[in-house]
């Protein structure tokens, strides 16, 4: 159920401290940690502490938490010093878009050129 921890969710386990992660920032509603398979020099995931399967369900059910995720993505970019050179926030929704962990999350990518369109 949305908003409830899921026993089979990797990111819920990270929030609970059951799976280690390299934390970058945390707030009352969000957690930010380094991606284990980085696609750029800066690649940090920002997740809501509560479980929502994707960005669309998070935005529909908890718009203030969705805003917190985006705000923290900006804070991560500033902390990682990529805010001046540019960074990308990616929210993959659904397997066809490349989502592999079905807990809403934003990728913060920076530190290299990010071409358009993404491939």
Q: Which of 119, 93, 95 is nearest to 104 (CA)?
A: 93
Neighbouring CB atoms inside 10 A of 55's CB total 22
pLDDT at 5: 87
Give residue 3's pLDDT. Answer: 81
What are the strands, taking DSSP E only, across 35-116?
Answer: 42-48, 87-90, 106-110
Reading the block at residue 119, the tokens are: 């491939």
pLDDT in tens, the chain (119 residues): 578 889 999 999 999 999 999 999 999 999 999 999 999 999 999 999 999 999 999 999 999 999 999 999 999 999 999 999 999 999 999 999 999 999 999 999 999 999 888 76
Could you report the per-residue pLDDT of 94-112, keeping only the tens digit for each? 999 999 999 999 999 999 9
Percent of residues, the chain, with pLDDT higher than 90: 92
Q: Whole-prediction pTM value?
A: 0.95
Measured distance CA(103)–CA(52) in Å, rounded: 5
Distance CA 42, CA 58 (A): 24
β-pair partners for 109: 43, 88
H or E element, residue 61: helix 55-61
Annotated catalytic sites, by residue? 105
């Amino acid at each position: 159920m949305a908003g409830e921890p899921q026993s089979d969710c990797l990111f819920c386990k990270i929030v609970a401290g059951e799976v280690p992660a390299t934390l970058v920032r945390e707030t009352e509603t969000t957690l930010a940690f380094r991606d284990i398979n980085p696609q750029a020099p800066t690649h940090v995931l920002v997740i809501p502490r509560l479980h929502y399967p994707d960005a669309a369900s998070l935005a529909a059910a908890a718009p203030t938490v969705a805003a917190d995720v985006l705000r923290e993505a900006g804070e991560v970019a500033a902390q990682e010093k990529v805010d001046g050179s540019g960074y990308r926030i990616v929210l993959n929704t659904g397997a066809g878009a490349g989502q592999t962990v079905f807990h809403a999350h934003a990728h913060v990518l920076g530190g290299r050129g990010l071409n358009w369109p993404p491939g």
